[in-house]
Every structure is written in structure tokens, then in C-alpha cells.
Structure 1
């Protein structure tokens, strides 16, 4: 029995442990997350607990609960560099709020002095010690009302211009609302200064607690995040290589020789036919690979966003900012060819939907074969296609196993992960290699695997070309397409084979480059010991410049903008022609001087200023109660200031995001009210127990804050509400009811205060809802349409810049890459900025689609399916354009087998001619994208005669430049593979461009410039 009991206990313990592991894996709970949650708990808990000290309670009196609120709003769990930047801006805005509040109250005091004719006004206690309040004065109240309107307009205009400072603007709004409420009651500046001084002290004590928590408790830097993300990327690459092997193995199983799916116009599936994401049958291997690559891309974006903060951190470590940037660049080089596999997925999907290889380029053209001979030929074609796919897959799998070793060793060498015991020996033995000490050079091992792949790939490709009549004999014997009726199909198949082959090799080469860099860091002693690392003066200057910039070229801008409600990306900094159609360039001195004054009208007439005016108007609807004689006391007693603050911080620029934000604020406040009841009454209102349960509540609130930082408002509103309710009641317990009501607010026990808080929030949200729609409304649907137009305009510029980069690269005119002023470097910066803005807009449009479901549905339905297809086509064009850019930059680094001659000069000359032809096509593509962008942005119809440009036929061009260029002699050259990739990407891009144009015409219509004489006659 005892043994059975022990066995049952062990089994139960194992079950409990496995259950906990499943829960932790499901919700992403790990040790760093728990430590951060504990860290976030400390600041507000200390802020509440410190008020139990008698000296603190006496000093801060009735505003002590602001201390923990400020410690929450500065977010102590942020990485150190982000926190410091946020704290500096918050401190500056708080000081500015204090200065502007003193100015406003000085005006109010002067107004009171000039309009008060009665002596001996009776004063009473105010919100803080030394700030007594006087009776109502109309002039002072009107003055503070005007100032509050201006301050709220200023704060929200700033929030719209710089959405990354959403939380500092909230703190600014809280400060000015408090001073505007009580500033109406002060008769002297001494009283006003006393209030501002106590507010500043309470705010900065909260900031100080938050700063101490961030810097001293579980220090967490941007560098830690970057290295962690880099390690996850490397592990993700290993998973991607494994998924890629399964993906390549599944290629022969696809329906390459099926029948076309061609629905009629009345078929509901016609949209799927034109939707490039739709498939004729499931493809789980491609879905798994895409999912992994999407997660790696997300990690890369986060790493890039955090890297700019890591560069300005002073830290103790091994890798400096330049090393981190190089590693990030090398990981990006690995990611691009992996993403190139999606080109093959898109090509496969579209070939299958169009009926397989049978439909490629009219392959059933006139030929002299009988039906029986043609069927036999088709069977042989299917077998040969499966054979070449199988040959390439088998060799690629061996190469990928070797590259996994390179990823592991790079991870360990750069100290991004811990090395397991005898990992090198185990990996090499698993792959059948000698593991003696002299054969453990993993860089040489990776190079050997690449060379082996290059040698083995040539034979099958040349044999397959020979079997298709694509070898030297095709030209030497003057064969025609009638001799090989499937020649065009074979050429397309060859492009796909070389496309897949190219990306496999370039992935391996990129991993080899990372391995070499990791080994160099070990050899030069960088990884031997840690040292102090300081940012350079140039990095600090760039950080200071970025602090005040709009940041809409940084990948984390979308996250900031989502918190503020709407993603707004400016196009002015990428427009090459900045002509003003209403003004000629200023010439005279007066014209040049007066031209500067136009900036004022631009600021006040901007959409950001209009948003600030709307918020200020809505705020005054509630705050006006504070500035009227009969209702001022009621406003202060019943804490209606909470409602006015909620209006100022909950409104956004679009209706959908505004309604969504107002709903989650109400829901968060309701949940916080329930949590406050639990915290207060579960321990029978005992202070020590309340503080403990308050800390536990803060702990759980930090889970969504850390796991989902883009939805930061939800946990924030909950934590602040809990502190407002529970913190205030603890304050009353400490200082007593008489002192608590000295600020004019009526005392309510917690069971009454919590519903009052919910009611004032609900009132503020109701006003915010009304003024979101009145007098006019900016819908998410309209913003989505305008953002789609802006995205297409950017895409036209991005496409053009990519082809300019290709041209400079091939012609050798890009200059020194290290020179900031060289054409290549300037184009690279412009291309990176355009790409970042494009990605931000694409992600923002996904948010718009979610917010659109929250809007009031008036009129006809929103054409969501059309916008989905337009966005998908845009994403694909971005992807294919990026692939062309990557190939142009990387094909010259394509590894060649030992002893094989590199690309000849004549080949490069032909490639230059190809680039010139592509430039002509790129102009047509850019012009078409620009027209589509204008039509979508303005809602005006497109010209009926507008057609999408046809892609350049590379094989026809190459025949003109070199009659021998399609022979097996060149098929394994790097240039040929680059041609193949560009051909596939260009064909897919042209297909998506046609779909984009077709969908746009369905959405905005076509303009008929003719005159309908029959309509005129009628």
C-alpha cells in the first residue's frame, strides 16, 4: 500500500507538471515573462505602500494616489533605452504642463483681482496644504476655460503628430485638467504655486519609483531583447529549413497537369479564381513553411525596431552596436532567399488554377503529333518533371542538414545560446562525417556541403535540358518549336527549377557568411571577454534627432500609432516633385519672408489640428460644468474631472478605432471595479492585506501588457482604475475623512466610489462617442481607402527605386557603399525608407479592417472582399519587387563550383541590355500603380482604355542578344539562375498587377470619354 501510494503520488505529480507545462506553452509563460510581471508589480505597489508612512501622508495630503498612477503610466517594464527616452519626454512635458498651468492661473488671478470688489472673501481648505480656495469668480473661471481648451487642443494635436508619445501626452492631459479645475478658485499666485509644486512632487516621485524599478530591479535592456530575438531567428531558420525540405518533397505531388478551374461570371467562385491566395487543393507543407517564415519576419521587424535603441545603450557585453547591426544584416540575408520560396508557391498555385502545364503559353499550339502520341508525350513529361523535382529535393535536403550545423555553431559562437555537450561531434556523426579533432572546422564543413551541392546539381539539370532538346544541339541543328512542341513549357519549367535551385544555394551561402562572421568574432578575441561598450557621438546625435522626428519610417511606428488610434504615414518626404500648383517659387525678399508664415496656416489647417480641436470641444462639453457658478461645486464634489480626462485620452481620428477604444475602456473600467471590490473586501478592509492583493492584481494585469504591447491601453486603464479606487480609499484610511474632503470632493465608501468611477467614465465615453461622429465623421473605411491609395503610390516609387538599384549595380555605377553620398548608398536609404513605410501601411490596413467591424453600418455594405483582394495583390507586388531587388544585389555573390569559370564578360553585357529593357517596363509599371493609387485615393473612375503593362519576355530578349544563351552551356551559370528568378518574379508581378487593375475598376468604375448619342437623343 505505501508503495502504491507513493506511485500514485508520483504519477499525480507528473500529471500536474505536464499540465502546467502545457498551460505555460499555450500562453507563452516563461521565466523572463514572470520576472517582468513581478518587476511591473513593484512600482505601483511601492507607490501605494509608501503612502502609509506618516510623513509622506502629511506631505502629499489628498493627491498621494497620483504617485502609483504616474509609476504605471511611465511603464517601468520597458527596455532601458526606450524607458529612458519615454521618461525624458514625459518629464519635459510635465514641466511644460506646470509652466503653462502657472501662466493660465496667473491670468486667472489677475482676472479675479480686476473683477472682485468685495473685501474679506471667505477662504476654505484646498486640494493641498497652502492652497486655500476662494469663492466663485466668473472672470477667473472663463479664463481657465479658455486655457483648458487651448491646452487640450495642444496636447492632442501633439499626440496626433507624434503618436509614439501617447502616454506622455496622457500625463500632460491629467496635469492640465487638475490645475484647470482648481485654478478657478485661487486668489493669489502663492496658492497656485503650492498646487503646482505638490503636483510636480507627486508626479516626479512616481517617475522616480518607476525609474528605480526599471534600472535596478531585473535590469532589462534593448540589447537583451535584440540578442534574444536574434537567437529566436536562428532557431526559426532551423525550423524553416526543415519545413523547406518537406515543402520541396511535396512539389511532385502537386497537380501540375490538372484541368483548369474557370468559373463563369455568375459563379460565386469567380472571386476565388482571381484571388491569388486561393488554391485548388490544400497544401499543408506550404502553409507550415509560410507560417514559420511569417513568424521569423515578425522577429526580424521587432529586432530592427529595437536595434536602434540598443545602439545608444551603454552596457557591459561582448558585441558592440556595429556587431549587432552586422548580425542583423546577415540574418536578413538568410531570410530573403527563404522568402523567395513563396514565389514558387504562388507560381504553383496559379499554374494549377489555370489547368497545369497544359495551359502555359498556349502549349496546345499546332503540332504534327497524333492524340495518342501527344498523350504518350504528356505521360513522359509528367515522369520527367517529377524526376527533376525529386533530384533537386534529395540534394537540397543534404545541403540543408549541413546548414543546420552552421546555424547551431553560429548561435553558440556568438553567445546567443548555450552549447550542449559535444554538439559538433553529434551533428557531424549524424551526417556521416569524420569527427576527429582536425575535422571539426564547421565553416569548412559548410563550404564543403555547398561545393558538393554545386557539383551534383549540374548533372541532373543538364541531363534534363538534353532530354527536352534544350542543349547545344537545339541551336546547332537549327531545330524549331515544331520539332519540340513543348519547348515553351520546358523553358518555363526550367525557370522554376532554377528559381528553387537559386534560393536553396543563396540560403546556404547566407548561412555560410554568418558562420564565417561568427568564427571571425571568435578568432579576433571579441567573444573572449566582456567589456564596457559606449555609444558613439554619431549614434547619440541620430537618437536625439529620432526622438523629435515623426518616426513613420520605423517599423514600430505602426504599434505606436495603433495605441493612438490611427496609422498616418506622410508621403511628403518621398515626393520628388514638391511644386505648389497655387504658388510660384518665391523670388523677392518679401515673398521669401511671407512664405514662412504659411507654415502657421498649414499647422492650424492640418488634420492633426482638426483632431485636436474636436477633442478640445468634446472635453469642454463636460468641463464647462466646472466653469459655471451653479455647477462648479458639483463638478468638484462628484469628481467629474475623471470624465473630462477620459474624453481627452479616449478619442481617436477614426470612428471605428474610437468606438473600439471606448468599448475596451468601459470594459476595462468595469473589470477594474470588480477587482477593486475583491481587493478591498476579501481581506476585511485590512491595509496590509489590501496592499498584497493590490500587488497580485497588478501582477496579472502585466501579462497582457507585456505579451501584447500593441494593446497597451487595456491593462493600463484597468490598473489606473484600481489605483484610483483602492488607492483613494487607502488614502482616506490613512489621513481621515476630514482631510480627505478638504479638497472639495465628497467622501464615498468604496462600494459607492467604484460605481461613481464607472458612471463618470461612461459619461465621458458617451461624450467622446458623440463628438467622434459629430459634426462629421472620419470612418475607418475612408481611411482604409486613402491608406491603400498611399500604399500603391509608395509601391510605385519603391518599384522604380528597385530597378534603379538594379541598373546601378549591374553597370557598376553605385559607387563606394561606405560613402554616405554615393548613388548606391542614397538609393539604399531611400529604398529602405519606402519599404518601411509600405510595411507600416500594409499592417495599418489590417488594423483598419478589424476596426471597420465596430463602425455603425449606414447605407450599403462595405466591399470588404474587394479590399482584401486589393491588399493581397499589393502585398504580392511588394514581395516580388523585393525578390528582384535581392537577386540583383546577391547574384554576383552566387558561389561557383571549384574549377568552374565564372560568368563571362559577354554574359554580363547581355545582362546590362536586359536591365535597360526592364527599366522601360518599370516606368510603365510605376505609372500604372500611380494611376491606380490616384483613382483609389480620390474615388474617381479609371480610364476605360487603361491596360496593365505586359512583362518583358526574357527568353525572347536573350535570343536577340545571344543566340546560344539558352543552351545547356550556360544553364548552371549564376547569371542564368538570376535571369530565371527575375523572369518568374516579373511574371507573377505582372499577373498581380493585372488583378490589381481589374479589382480597382470593379471598385471605382471606368470612365467613358465618349458621348452616348442615344442618351442625348432621348
Structure 2
């Protein structure tokens, strides 16, 4: 065996992959990626090539290059459901732009008629049938006002619904073109000709994109969801393997310290400046990295699932099945993520010097129980891994291997055929075996440490003994590990049962036509026009538009207005509705739209002045005004970052245009081939890094503008090409002109990012942190309310939308999603900070990093508490063992009641900290973090025998331990959060320093 291993190793060294293979692997290039890149190449290439037909060139004249541009901006490589939604919104916005443009040009035509009393000379326009007239001041003023309104409308829409960033760009292109030429039309027939040709070119591009998306290698959201789900199950397998190595490493940690060490997990250092460096923990870091990847996969699965549910498809699993799988995977993810709490506890114990071991026996007993518990958990993990593999195959998410390694099967105690048929019973037996082993181990350990004796005595001195508290802390950590292992196995068992049920009922036997229900279609239509900040992919959309914003409206109860009493009379109720429009025009989104419109008019104004109108049209200054309209963002850092990317992307595209045009000596066929190659390469970052699409999109559009225009001139000739008023430039001049206009537009955008006022990323980070803490306080409170309803059985019918449990679950889920989005958004803010110039003192980045870390951990511990409430009723018990669950359930109810009182204090503290950070005002003096409820003392009061070693294996005991660990760690983070906030904003000082006043006088 060893000789074969050495031989294989030497062979692997000799057969080292080539440079090409290593580069491909490093770039993450695989067959699906290449296929999508080829698919994305088709639409712009067809749009550019079709213009070489005489009938197409004759019809579209000088605007034919807009066809491939529109085919790119509609993104044909999107999954089908996303593409259709995006295409519908794009089409509606294009039609709206056409309607508004017609109204604007009608106003301009009427203004010209009322101010012109002599005949005017006419010349050829941009499209057939649209002759243009000389300058008219009244018409230009009208078009200028309308352009300002249209740009404001487009960018307010973009800020409010960032998922439609690209449709708003298409809207901006349309209104800029019509505003430029709308000043020159003397009658509506000419204006209608331009609108008609623009609509035709836009929708031909959309049609090519739609045909590419639907007919060429169709990609559905369902396909993506199922691949992500398969990756998530494989990620669970990797996480369990890493978790096994992590458990092995627990016995290598230094849990014990010197004589001044802290003995209790609940005791915390009074200083927030406690040492933060701990011994490196490779296994914990590896587990953390894997869990981060799995969490990302689950977020992607949930985000794409809402599109997969509205697709009509030919498949086996319906939308409800996919939803159930996603729910079951979430139940697996929660306890696996909960294992991180053990790392947090271990690190904090180490920071404070470790436990105090007066005798070597204390160390030996602790490491003994760690070995026993971890060994049993590792054997259970082997069964979990087999269960994950079986569910993967039964659900059709992976292909079952043709042969199975016999040694692996025999090692797990059953044959391949029985594994396919009896996986449920096998996993159940492994869970029962684990429960039996843990009971023996726990009772023996409790007896050896005197916990069973201490629980039967009512001796206050002994209860406060440091050694006894240390044993309790150790017991809680062990029970925490066991509870999470058991609930993970139970969640995997539920997934295996579901997969087996789908096989048994024939669902996986054949494919069928699956239609979305009308209810799902109505919900999809409603969500398509609503703000998407309650969905996990909102963060990606919002980042493209510049700044992540999370709305609290409609989520929390309406607060009282100190300036307005509730309306009573009819007039008050009617007039109160007008305040909606006032709030809309005064919203941050409207202010952003106004800023962009003002910046756009700085360039576009030259189109509406007599001495500069022809220069604006001839030299294509419209490119600069469009760039202003699409490149500005709400914060300075993200705006500068995006402007740099747009300039770099344009410069790179200019070089690519030279290569495409001149490498084939300006032959049309060769140009189209190299154009296709360029589009293929640009689709790599577009597909691979879909959250940063600025560079590939601006690059492809620039190449099309330059190369497409030159091919257009080559096809229809220079005389017809300059009939639209634009001067002809050969490509070697046109490319720098494009770069210069883009640079000018970006320069204006940069100026108006800072003028007349600036919203920095640092300011936005502070506000978002305050919002995050406010959401966390409400989420924490909603979790405890959910726990209370579940334990008391007062949640009502889950199928009833108006039941307390259903409404609270919906609110809690939205709070959690918004919290995750805003936490991810703050990570983006940190990246954008590097692009902002620093004026004055340095930004306290370290303080904000610590505040964000405290917030993330508190969110994690709060979710752990909810997981306990959700999984506690289904916690398995050993077969044949009489459980005292009724007694434990009653005591658990009392525990929840007491926790609700504590949760109010914690939520109130988070609310005050949130207000201080959001406003920058100092905290109230003498504000302290609320202490966590001593759950041990609480349960002792309810039943003094409740914590005896005879009860240590009760489900409630383990649930109590997990909550004890979570609340202790949460309170510790809350104390650190409050301490760090005091250092950042300070405390109010209502006293008067007499000595200071005397010196001042």
C-alpha cells in the first residue's frame, strides 16, 4: 500500500500540469463558463453583422449601431426568469421614454411654431423622414427642461430600485438622444419618425437578445438552484469533515491558565481593551472558511429560488419540492454554524487566562470527556456524510457513482444495496447509538466532578465555589457540542427522509411539465415592481448602483410624528395623503436624482445654446452627458471607484477597437470575427464576477460604438453618415474622441459628487452601522417572541397568514435578511473608503471594525437561540428511556418568560447605541450593559433537583446549556459593543466644572 502511494506520488510529480492547465484552473475556467461566454457573444455579433445587409442598412441608416448595444445591455446570458423580468421592465421603460419624449418634442414643436413666423431651411436628419431645422431658443428651452425632468426621474428610479440599473441606463440613452435632436424638429411627423426608428432599433436588439437567451443553450434559474443545492450538500460534507478535524484539535488547546485565571464562562473583563491575540487555530480557521462558502451558496440558492418557482419547465421536482429542500438545508446549516460558538468560547477563555486547575486531575477529566464526546460525534458524522450523499443521489442533484469502494462501505457497517434502501434506519440507529454513548459519558463525568451531589444540596457556599462554576462551564460547552451534533444529524435525517419519499412516490421516476401557480405569478409580478431589499441578492444589485440602502418602512410599526397628530377630520385625512408626495420629493433617492440631473445639464446645456448646439452634435458630446447620467452614485467613494473603472474600461476598449479594426487590414469579415473574439473575452468578467459588471459592459459598449460606427460608415458611405450632423472621424481619431468625452463626463460627475455637498462612504458606514444595530435590537426581540410562542404553543395555524406565529416569522425573516444585507454592504463600504481623499484626522477604522464584529457575533448568537427553540421539540431521546419532557417543558416556559424581560433590556441598550452612532451624539451617562439572566439559578429555583446527573441527558438540559452559552457570549459582545461606542462618541456630561468656568471668565 505504501509503495503504491509513493509511486503514485512520484508519477504525479512527473506529470505536472502544463502552464495552460494551471492558468485555466487558477482562473476558474470550465465548460459551463465557456459556453456562457460563447452564448453572450452571439447577440452583439449578430446585431453587428446583420447591418451588412442592404435592407437593414437602408432602414436604420445612422442608428444601426444601437442594435448590438441594446442586445448587450439586456444581458442575454442571464437565467431565463431573471432575463424575462429584466426584459419586461426594460421594454416598459423604453416605451415610457418614447412617450415622454414625444410629449417633450410636442412641447418643443409648439414652442417653435409660436415663435417662428418665417419659413426655415431644412436639412437631413439622423434617420430617414426626420429633417431638421435651424436653432430655436424656445424649443431648446423646452427640451432642456424636459431633459432635466427625465434624468431626475431615471436616477430616482435607479436609486429606489437598484435591481433595474441597466434598464435605467437604456432609458437614459433614449431620452438623451431624443432631447439632442428634439430641438431641431419643426413638426411632429419628423419627431415621430425619430421615435419610430429608435424604438425599432432598440427592440430589434432586445429581440436578438431574447432569441439568444431562450434558444441558444437555455439556462434556467431552476438549473442554477439545483446546482447550487448540490454544491451546498457537498459543502455540508466538507464542513463535517473539517468539523471532525476541528473536534480533534479541541484537546490540543490550552484551556487552563495560572492562579489568576477566570473560572466561569459568564465572568467578563471590565475593560474593553482586553488582549485580543490568541493562539492560532488552523482547524477552526479552516472550518470558518468552509462555512463562509456554504453560507454564500445557501444565500445564492434562496435568492435564485424565487425566480425558479415561477418558471415553466420540464423536470421532476416542482417548486414546492425545491422550497422544501431549501428549508431542510437551512435547518442543517444552523447547527453547523452554531459550532462556531465553541471557538468563540475557547478564545475568550484563553484571552482571560484560562481555567484554574489546582490539580492535574482537573485537566485529565476535561480532556477525557473531550476525547469521549468528540470521538462519538466523529462516528456520528460518518453516518451524516453517508446520509448527505444518499440524499444528493436520490434527489437527482448528483450522479451516483458506478461503483463504490468496498472498504468505505464496510467501514460504515452496511452494504451498498442496503445503503440505498435502509439509509433512514441506519442513520436513526447511529443517532440512537450516539445518545446511548453520551448518556454514559455524561453521568460518569458529572459523578466524578461532584455535580450530581451539588445539585442535590442547597448549599449557597458551594454554589458560589469557583471550582464548581468551572465544572458547570465545562458541562455547558460539552452539552452545547452534543446538542449541535444531534440536531445536525436530525436535520440531515429529515433531508434523507424527504429524498426517500420523493423516490417512493414516483416523483423522481419521470419528468413532467411543471407550471407555476397563479398565486406565485401574482407574487412575482408584485415583487418585480417593489423594492427588493428583503432579498439576499439585493446587495449585489445595490452595489452596482453604488450604495447599499435598506428601507425600514413597512417593516416596523409606524412611529408617532411629533409634528402631526393623527388625522381626524375628512380634510385632515385627505390632505395627509399629499404628504406622501412631499416625502417622495424630499427623499434621499429624489435628492440623488436631482444631483445627477444638475450634473448632466452642465454638459447638456451646450446642446440648448445657439453658439454651441452644432458643436455638441458634431463632436458627439452626447456621450459625455450620458456618462454623467449613468456614472454617479450616492457616496463619494463608490462614485470615484466607479468612475475610475469606467475610464479604465473605456481606455481598454479603445485599445481593443484598434486591434479589431486594424489587425485584419479593415476587412469587414475579419473585423466581425475579431469583434466576436473581443466580445467572448469581455464576457469572462461579466459571467465570472457578475456583481462588478461595469468594466465589461462599458468596454463592450465602447467597442460597439467605435467599431460599429466605422462599419456603418463603410456600408452606407460618408455622405449619409454625416447627415445626422455628426462629423466623420476615422477610427484612430474616433477612439480618442470617445475617451475624451467619457473623461469629460466623468470629470463633471466627480465635481458634482463633492459639490455642493458630499456624502462620504465613512458617513454612510456610520449610518448603516446605526441602522444595523437598530435592526439587530428588533431581531433579538422578535426571536424571543418567536421562542415564547413556540414554547407556549400560541403561534396558531401556520397556514393562516394572520396567525401570530406566521406574522412574527415573516417579520423575523425580513429583519434577518435586511441585517445580513446591510452587514455585507458595510464590507463594500470599507473597500470604497480607499478611493476617498481624507481631510482632517484619520477615520477610526479599527473601532468600526470591532463594532461590526460585535454586531455579527451578536446576530449569530441570537440565531442560535432561535435554533434551540425550533429544534427543541424534535430533539430525539434514547429508545426505551422514559423522558421527563413534561417537567422540562414547564421549566423551559418559565425560562423563556424570564428571558423576555432580559431581551427588553438588551433591545433597549441596542436602540440607544444605534441612536448614538447614527446621530453622532454622546451616550447617556452611566449607561451599562444589562447582565444576562443566571439560568442556572433560575432553574434551581424552579426545581432544586432539576440539574442532577439523572437529568443531564434530558433534551431540555442540552437546550438550556446552548442558551446559557449563547446568552453569555452575547452579553459579552454587548458589553464590548457599548464600551467601543463610548470610545467613539463619548458620554454626555451634564455636570459643570467650576474651575473650568472660572478660568474662562
Q: What band does the TM-score fall into relative to the shorter chain?
A: over 0.9
Deviations 1:813-847 (A, max 9, x none): 11122222211111110000000010011011111
Superposed counterparts of 1:412-561, under 5 Å: 412-423=393-404, 427-434=408-415, 440-472=421-453, 475=456, 481=462, 486-561=467-542
Match of 1:932 among 895, 913, 934: 913
In structure 2, relative to structure 1, the CA distance for the partners of 1:82 and 1:482 (3 Å cut) is closer
Provide the C-alpha distance between the structure 2 equivalents of 1:925 and 1:996, rounded to a whole number of angstroms. 12
Shift of the 116–356 alpha-carbon distance from structure 1 to 2, 3 Å rule, reads: same
Change beyond 3 A, Cα 1:225–1:470: same
Q: 1:953 to 1:171 in 2, by over 3 A?
A: same
* Equivalent residues of 1:705, 1:712 under 8 A apart: yes
Select 1:339's aligned residue among 331, 334, 337. Answer: 337
2:383 maps to which residue? 402
Equivalent-residue separation in structure 1 for 2:137 and 2:507 (angstroms): 71
CA–CA separation in structure 1 for the residues paired with 2:461 and 2:33: 67
Secondary structure of the 2:691 match is helix
What corresponds to 1:719 in structure 2? Answer: 700
Is 1:139 matched up with 2:120?
no
Report deviation, 1:669.
0.3
Residue 67 (structure 2) aligns with: 67
- Stretch of structure 1 that moved more, 289-298 or 902-911: 902-911
d(CA) in 2 for partners of 1:176, 1:843? 34
- 1:673 correspondence with 2:654: yes
The match for 1:280 is 278
Does the alignment pair 1:176 with 2:157? no
* CA deviations over 1:116-164 (Å, ceiling 9, x no partner): 1222x21111000001111111111111111101100111011111111
Q: Equivalent residues in 2 for 1:693-708 (5 A)?
A: 693-708=674-689
Question: For residue 355 of structure 2, what is the aligned residue in structure 1?
Answer: 357
Q: Give, in whole Å, the separation in 1 of the partners of 2:932 and 2:26.
A: 47
SS of residue matched to 1:965: coil
- Output the CA distance in 1 between the equivalents of 2:430 and 2:758: 62
Mapping of residues 979-1018 of structure 1, within 5 Å: 979-1018=960-999
- CA contact under 8 A between 2:393 and 2:400: conserved in structure 1? yes
8 A contact 2:80–2:219 mirrored in 1: yes
Aligned residue in 2 for 1:234: 233
Q: Give secondary structure in 1 for the equivalent of 2:314.
A: strand
Corresponding residue for 2:843? 862
In structure 1, the partner of 2:46 is 46
* Alpha carbons of structure 1 residues 474 and 105: separation in structure 2 relative to 1, 3 Å: closer
- Residue pair 1:781, 1:852 contacting (<8 A) in 2 also: yes
Q: Distance in 2 between matches of 1:357 and 1:921?
A: 28
2: distance between equivalents of 1:13 and 1:948? 59
The whole-number CA distance in structure 2 between the counterparts of 1:516 and 1:427 is: 23
Query: Conserved in 2, the CA contact under 8 Å of 1:260 and 1:356?
Result: no
Instruction: Return 758-767 or 381-390, whichever deviates more.
Output: 381-390
For 2:264, the equivalent position in structure 1 comes to: none
Q: In the aligned structure 2, how far is the partner of 1:474 from the partner of 1:964?
A: 6
The CA deviation at 1:1012 is: 2.0
1:63-122: CA deviations, max 9, x gaps?
000000000000000000000000000000000000000110111111111111222x21
* Shift in Å, 1:313: 0.4
| Residues 1:382 and 2:359 aligned together | no
Which residue is equivalent to 2:248?
Answer: 249
How far 1:604 moved relative to its partner?
Answer: 1.1
Q: Runs of 5+ in structure 2 lacking a partner?
A: 1-10, 262-268
- After superposition, the Cα gap between the structure-2 partners of 1:589 and 1:401, relative to the gap in structure 1 and judged at 3 Å, is same
- Structure 2 residue aligned with 1:111: 111
Q: 1:182 to 1:880 in 2, by over 3 A?
A: same
Residue in 1 aligned with 2:309? 311
Determine whether 1:961 maps to 2:959: no
TM superposition score normalised by structure 2: 0.96
After TM superposition, give the deviation of residue 191 of structure 1 in Å: 0.6
Please say if residues 43 and 72 of structure 1, whose CA atoms lie closer than 8 Å, have aligned partners that are also in contact: yes
How far, CA to CA, are the matches of 1:75 and 1:281 in structure 2? 49
C-alpha distance 521-198 of structure 1, shift in aligned 2 (>3 A): same
In structure 2, how many angstroms separate the alpha carbons of the residues matched to 1:980 and 1:22? 49
Superposition map of 1:768-779 within 5 A: 768-779=749-760
Q: What is residue 299 of structure 1 aligned with on the other side?
A: 297
Contact 2:454 2:462 in 1 (8 A): no
Paired residues for 1:578-597 under 5 Å: 578-597=559-578
Q: Are the structure 2 counterparts of residues 477 and 962 from structure 1 closer, same or farther at C-alpha, using a change threshold of 3 Å?
A: closer
SS of 1:481's partner is helix
Which residue is 2:587 aligned to? 606
The 2-side partners of 1:16 and 1:695 are apart by 34
Aligned to 1:188: 187
Q: Aligned pairs, how many?
A: 982
Which residue is equivalent to 2:101? 101
The farther-off stretch of 645-654 and 485-494 is 485-494
Deviation at 1:1016, TM superposition (A): 2.9
Q: Given the superposition, is the C-alpha separation of residues 12 and 807 from structure 1 closer, same or farther in structure 2, using an over 3 Å criterion?
A: closer
Which is further off, 223-232 or 450-459? 450-459
- Over 3 Å counting, the alpha-carbon distance change for 1:483 and 1:943 in structure 2 is closer
Distance 1:273 1:683 in 2: 67
SS of 1:302 mapped into structure 2: helix
Q: 1:579 to 1:984 in 2, by over 3 A?
A: same
Deviation at 1:339, TM superposition (A): 0.3
Structure 1 residues 760 and 12, CA, compared in 2 at 3 Å: closer, same or farther?
A: farther
Judge conservation of contact 2:274–2:351 (CA < 8 Å) in 1: no
Alignment-derived partner of residue 86 in structure 1: 86
Residue number in structure 1 paired with 2:321: 323
Q: 1:942 to 1:696 in 2, by over 3 A?
A: same
Contact 1:259 1:354 in 2 (8 A): no
For residues 673-822 of structure 1, the aligned pairs below 5 Å read 673-822=654-803
Q: What secondary structure does 1:466 align onto?
A: helix
CA distance in structure 2 between the partners assigned to 1:259 and 1:117 by the alignment: 100
Q: CA deviation at 1:1011?
A: 2.2
Residue 640 of structure 1 and its aligned partner are, at CA, apart by 0.2
Pairwise CA distance, 1:441: 1.2
Q: Give 3-state SS (helix, strand or coil) of 1:639's partner.
A: coil
Per-residue CA deviation, residues 696-722 of structure 1 (Å, 9 max, x unaligned), is 111111111111111011210111011
Distance 1:528 1:920, change over 3 A: same
Question: Per-residue deviation at 1:473?
Answer: 6.8
What is aligned with 2:56? 56
- Whether the 8 Å contact between 2:131 and 2:190 is mirrored in structure 1 is yes
* Cα shift at 1:396: 1.0
After superposition, residues 117-128 of structure 1 pair within 5 angstroms as 117-119=117-119, 121-128=120-127
Question: For structure 1, which segment, 314-323 or 393-402, has the greater mean C-alpha deviation from structure 2 after superposition?
Answer: 393-402
Partner SS, residue 697 of structure 1 = helix
C-alpha displacement at 1:12, in angstroms?
A: 13
What SS is found at the alignment partner of 1:610? helix
CA distance in 1, matches of 2:183, 2:791: 71
- Secondary structure of the 1:711 match is coil
Question: Is 1:159 matched with 2:158?
Answer: yes
Alpha-carbon displacement from aligned partner over 1:937-988 (angstroms, at most 9, x marks no partner): 0000001210000011111111111111121111111100000000000000
Name the SS for the 2:311 alignment partner: coil
